Chains A and B, each alone.
Chain A
Amino acid sequence: MSATKLSAPEQTVPPRPTPSLRGRTLPKYLPPALLGGSAVVCAAALYLLDRWNPAVWAILAAVLYTAAVTVLSAVVENRRKAVDRLVTSVVYACFTVAMVPLVSLLWTVLSRGLVRLDGYFLSVSMNGVTPSMDAGGVYHAIVGTLLMTLMAAVISVPIGLMTAVYLVEYGRGRLRQAITFFVDVMTGIPSIVAGLFVVALWILLFGPGHTNGAAGAIALSVLMIPVVVRSCEEMLRLVPNELREASYALGVPKWLTVLKVVLPTALSGLTTGVMLALARVIGETAPLILTAGSSAVSINANLFEGQMMSLPVFIYSQVRMGGAINYERAWAGALTLIIIVMLLFLAARLVSHFFAPKTR
């Protein structure tokens, strides 16, 4: 196609008067000015029509700006530049749209959660509190969440870590491929299915109707193992091969090389990975409703006996009760949960920042 174009005789094209090599462009100050202008115009229009609504205003202003800048660009510049400006506006809008739920969620949880979140709320359980009573707290749920997550970690960290070691140091051939593939697939297991798995297992082992913290912990570890494997595998791959070779050259057996050279080198990364996995499962709700029960009200620190409340299930069951006071408890519980998750994230960041191996 281009060949036929090129073969056209050059000299028949009349010389065009081009004042400059570049076409006309919109001045740099114009887009911000247009954005401000459309914001003001939309605000004024909505105010005059008595239909003031921040969401409508933002959408209208964005649409007006996009239309204005595209039309102006098409007139002054050219069609290609106009399309480019249109897409730029759309891409910026996409990011803004994604920030709306994040900001609104954090703001709502913070403002509504702070109403009830205090020392009293954190230090008492719901034992003897009727649903509509202005009392009660979340202590039993925090205890349950911490115990079950801890047990899930105790189960899944060794399995996950050893699997990662296998994949990086030992694995070869089909078994390695199969494990890699199915760990990926396992990441996608719906959390409720993990809960049902433990329910089915528990019926087989103990008969129907048994709920306890250990069942919840096992359901959580089904969800946690693949995450631990993934992150640990990535970290172990980062360990330079020279370290392993140096160790072999000194006659150290392979298992000691892994134990004393590879794992300590990757330690900070492994810790970070485990903490991120913890942050992921600590908010799981559905499997715990099925396995650890959803009606515990008192403090239960025994993983193997009786129902166990957790923070996510606490939030859910309060919402199900539906009263104003229940919503207040749910928001405060949500704030507590988010704070715990954020602390885990922060700790993970700090660990990876301060304890990272000095490679240089």
Chain B
Amino acid sequence: MTTTDPSTTTRAPRGRRRLGDVLFAGGAQGSGILILAILAGVAAFLILQSFDSLAANTANFFTTSEWHANTREEPAFGVAALAFGTVLAAAIALVLATPVAIGIALFIVYYAPRRIAAVLGYLVDLLAAIPSVVYGLWGIGWLVVQLAPFYAWLETYFGWIPLFAGPVSTTGRTMLSAGIVLAVMILPIITAMTRDVFLQVPQAHREAALALGATRWEMIRMAVLPFGRPGIIGGAMLGLGRALGETMAVAMILSPSLVISWFLLQSGNQTIAAHIALQYPEATGYGVSALISAGLVLFAITLVVNMAARFVVSRRKEFA
């Protein structure tokens, strides 16, 4: 297998370029370039359509929280509260989901009986197959009802922590509920990534640790976790990207208001994606264009997070 003679490798023999070859290769390459064009188009069209409202906006787009865009005269709107809510919801989801996901991955790879491990992994993947709107329905129709008394308890005993300060929302339609549902939704993503990298830990490392008398946990701490760290970080960031852009669960569960609030147990806050879904049907005047500018901010945030995640994950591949 050398590179000196291409005709011995998988490349097609050199000769007259056949028409079929040219067309097929061109079509394949064209499709690839089309995908790049679509991605560029997403950015370009969003920027193009947001100009309209951003030029007419009388408030500072990045520091204003109010949203008066459904007018032709002097619209004033900004994404400050929306961007804050988006990051807050995703952060809650990430904090709740990451430790559990690592635990599940450890369970499937190292703790569960071999024979049923695959089935258990399949069960976790099943969580990823459920449509987000069904999560939203489950959240609003079942979960918030169960969580409301828990929130009251949390406020009674932990109300001194500013995050959990009252008065508690009696409906349970709070930021914390939205964060919990988002956590369930990103759980399978983080688990899948973490499980993959745990499976790649060299057996020699693990056996060496066990041979030195390590308990199972010591083996995991010394051999598995250091090896798997980039995969865990990458998986968590992919989950973060998903949580940032998730629309329906938040739109259906949260009872929104455009304020910046740290109180997780009160109704309030709103995310960019949910705001767009809720406002779009009633948007008039500069409304649609303003929502597109909000979407552009969301696109930029998720793009940065996803690119960073892919970078972390691909670095691991190079070193492994």
Contact = CB atoms under 8 A, between A and B. Distances in A.
B138 interface: yes
Given A94-B103, A94-B104, A162-B27, A200 B32 contact: no
A237 to B, nearest CB: 12
Interface residues of B, number: 93
A331 B104 contact: no
B177 to A, nearest CB: 13
B39 A185 contact: yes
A235 interface: no
A163 B24 contact: no
Interface stretch (B54-62, B122-130, B196-204, B255-263): B122-130
Interface secondary structure of A, over-half rule: helix
Contacts of A101: 127, 138, 184
A112 B288 contact: no
Given A225-B35, A327-B141, A109 B134 contact: yes
Interface in A56-109: 80-81, 83-84, 87-88, 90-95, 97-99, 101-102, 104-105, 108-109
A199 interface: yes
B295 A193 contact: yes
A188 B138 contact: no
A136 B251 CA distance: 25
B42 A95 contact: no
A188 B244 CA distance: 10
B25 A255 contact: yes
Interface stretch (A127-135, A166-174, A296-304): A166-174
Contact of A182 (B36, B146, B217): B36
Give the interface size bracket for A toward B. Answer: 35 or more
B251 to A, nearest CB: 8
A245 B288 contact: no
Interface string A144-179: 000000000000001110110111011100011011
A241 interface: yes
Interface in B275-320: 276-277, 280-281, 288, 291-292, 295, 298-299, 302-303, 305-307, 309-310, 314
For the complex of A and B, the 8 pairs showing the least CB-CB separation, nearest first, are A283-B131, A190-B245, A94-B103, A255-B24, A188-B306, A254-B12, A166-B28, A162-B31
12 contacts: A181-B314, A186-B38, A188-B303, A189-B42, A190-B298, A196-B276, A203-B49, A255-B23, A285-B247, A312-B133, A316-B252, A345-B129
